[in-house]
Amino acid sequence: MAILSLVAFYFAYGKGKHMEGLVIAKNLTIQILPMLVFAFILAGLLQVLIPREFIANWIGNESGLKGIFIGSIAGAFLPGGPYITLPIAAGVMKLGASIPVTVAMVTGWSLVGISRLPMDFAIMGPRFTLIRLASVFIFAPLAGAMAWLLMRILKL
């Protein structure tokens, strides 16, 4: 509703700016749509190819800290942006990964960003890169543990 209101407002008062915005939106859609399709296909394939028992044993509700650490490391190696990572994380969670593990996975992905390491190393240097990596590998499991604790406190 808000989007339609903005388009109507700019149509009436924007002196043609609404068309510029719609063209930008069209271009973004064309750019992002293939990534979304790929991510949804990958997420669907994961749900079929990975046995539920495997997920339950390694990263399910009973996996505890082991699952949180696995989720943190797996997240660190997930490629791409949120259009790819979030559908994959949702697919794994649908298979039976616990919420704390999924929180650790998404946190690991967002903080580590394995694809950023070459740039970190080249621009910031090896010392900075190693310290940053050591720091974020602490925060991803911590986020998963905090999610576990919140679920217990809130009885979710």
Please give the average per-residue pLDDT across 142-155, as a whole number: 95
Q: Which residue has the tokens 């293939």?
A: 34
| Bigger pLDDT: 146 vs 76 | 146
pTM strictly above 0.85: no
Q: 6-52, pLDDT tens digit by residue?
A: 777 777 777 777 788 888 889 998 988 888 888 888 888 888 888 88
Provide the angle, in degrees to the nearest 10, between the axes of the packed helices 52-59 and 64-76.
110
Q: 111-138, pLDDT tens digit by residue?
A: 987 778 888 899 999 999 999 888 888 9
As given in the structure block, the two tokens for residue 58 are: 């390694």
Q: Which residue has the tokens 């339950």?
A: 56
pLDDT at residue 69, rounded to an integer? 95
Query: Long-range contacts for 120-129 (Cβ within 8 Å, ≥24 apart)?
Result: none
Query: Long-range contacts for 14-19 (Cβ within 8 Å, ≥24 apart)?
Result: none
How far are the Cα atoms of 36, 87, 141, 147 from residue 83, in angstroms, in the given order? 6, 7, 23, 23
- Is the CA virtual torsion 68, 73, 76, 80 positive or negative? negative
pLDDT at residue 113, rounded to an integer? 78
Q: 18-27, pLDDT tens digit by residue?
A: 788 888 889 9
| Bigger pLDDT: 100 vs 42 | 100
CA–CA separation, 53 and 106 (whole Å) = 22
Give one word for 97, left, alpha or beta, with left for phi > 0 and alpha for psi -120 to 50.
Answer: beta
